[in-house]
Amino acid sequence: MKYVLITGASSGIGKALAEKFAKEGHNLILAARRTNLLKIIKGELKDKYNVDIIIYTVDLLDSDEVQKFYAKTKEYDIEVFINNAGSGDVNLPWNSDIKKIEKMLDLNIKALTTLSIMFIKDNLDKDVQLINVSSTAGYNIISGEITYSASKVFVASWTESVAKQLKRLNKKIKVKVLAPSTTESEFIEKALIHSKNKHWEINAYKKQKKLRAKSAKDLANEGYKLYKNDKILGIIEDNNLKLSNGKYDNIRWI
Ligand SMILES: NC(=O)c1ccc[n+]([C@@H]2O[C@H](COP(=O)([O-])OP(=O)(O)OC[C@H]3O[C@@H](n4cnc5c(N)ncnc54)[C@H](OP(=O)(O)O)[C@@H]3O)[C@@H](O)[C@H]2O)c1
């Protein structure tokens, strides 16, 4: 039996992706820290779509847990591995809470890269996909979120480059980047924790984000189109999905 694995599936984009893949008949492995939410999602999706759902509680900030989690996933036939879990920070870099930044970088970069490498290594010549969730901020730095944006630049450039290298070497695995624009989720509220911005700046920021936000359901539908397509990048531009072979073209092939 084949499974789609989604990290960060307890809320927002990950939860919506879980519903979309279940609706399309895929079995799921859902991972996050909040087991209670995963259990509720499992119950709802199982009833609605009659697919098999496995939930896994993991703190991706803990390297040992990441290794144990990956070892456990190897017991299943995974057709799509989606590294979606991520966090943000809205601050000028020198105003940021260092502990929060360390956690954001460990989640957005370290856990994602570790899981990606292990999954690619085990599946080089298999008909499977790895989809890493970056952001439009991974292609255009946001001035009020420089450190977060740069973490997503890493995700975008690393994933695109790996995807292109794998294609050059005629490997079967497909590696892709999903780059959402502002999407309704818990992300913004959490990114604003410890923000040193003034109240009026935070309110203006939230208002602007709310105006532009796509629903997580719509974003998940776009994510599914990326899965069905052979292109490397699916980015939301002007509220629409643009599929391409990526934007990081300055690779020196040696
Ligand atoms: N929303 C946006 O506007 C937007 C725009 C562009 C890109 N993105 C990207 O989209 C992805 C999903 O974010 P979202 O918007 O859906 O935000 P969200 O609602 O806050 O979801 C984040 C998910 O990551 C999980 N997570 C956080 N820390 C974790 C940890 N240490 N270990 C395991 N799981 C952890 C959370 O679950 P638990 O708390 O239960 O662990 C949750 O399921 C992120 O990579 C984000 O950067 C979001």
Three-class SS of 140-173: CCCHHHHHHHHHHHHHHHHHHHHHHHHHHCCCCC
Per-residue pLDDT at 217: 98
Our answer on whether the CB atom of 86 is closer than 6 Å to any ligand 1 atom is yes
DSSP state of 183: B
Residues 6+ apart with CB under 8 A from 102: none
Distance CA 24, CA 177 (A): 21
Check residue 201 and give its pLDDT.
86
3-state secondary structure of 242: strand
Please write the tens of the pLDDT for every residue from 42-81. Answer: 999 999 999 999 999 999 999 999 999 999 999 999 999 9
User: What type of residue sits at position 175?
Assistant: V
* Spatial distance between the Cα atoms of 107 and 246, rounded to a whole number of angstroms: 23
- Specify the pLDDT at position 198: 86
Using a 10 angstrom Cβ sphere, with 0-12 exposed, 13-18 middle and 19 or more buried, the burial of residue 253 is exposed
pLDDT digits (tens, 9 = 90+) for 196-216: 888 888 888 888 888 889 999
Distance 99 CA to ligand 1 centre (A): 17
Beta bridge partners, 6, equal 30, 82
In the sheet with 240-244, reading across from the earlier edge strand, the strands are: 53-57, 27-32, 2-7, 77-83, 129-133, 174-179, 233-237, 240-244
Judge if the beta carbon of residue 155 lies within 6 A of ligand 1.
Answer: no
Ligand 1, atom 36: nearest CA belongs to which residue?
8
Q: In ligand 1, which atom is closest to the CA atom of 88?
A: 47
Kindly state the average pLDDT of the residues 235-247.
97
Q: Is 57 in the pocket of ligand 1 (CB under 6 A)?
A: no
For the stretch 4-53, pLDDT in tens is 999 999 999 999 999 999 999 999 999 999 999 999 999 999 999 999 99
Q: Is the CB of 61 under 6 A from ligand 1?
A: yes
Cα 107 to middle of ligand 1, angstroms: 10
Write down all domains in the chain, each with its CATH number in brackets.
Answer: 2-244 (3.40.50.720)
Contacts 24+ apart (CB under 8 A), 199-204: 202/90
> Of 129, 202, 205, 124, whose CA–CA distance to 170 is shortest?
124
Q: Answer whether 59 contacts ligand 1 (Cβ < 6 A).
A: yes
Say yes or no: CB of residue 151 within 6 Å of ligand 1.
no
pLDDT of 250 reads 87
Query: Which two tokens mark 157?
Result: 């450039």
- Judge if the beta carbon of residue 13 lies within 6 A of ligand 1: yes
Measure 57 CA to ligand 1 centroid, in angstroms.
14
pLDDT at residue 124 tops 90: yes
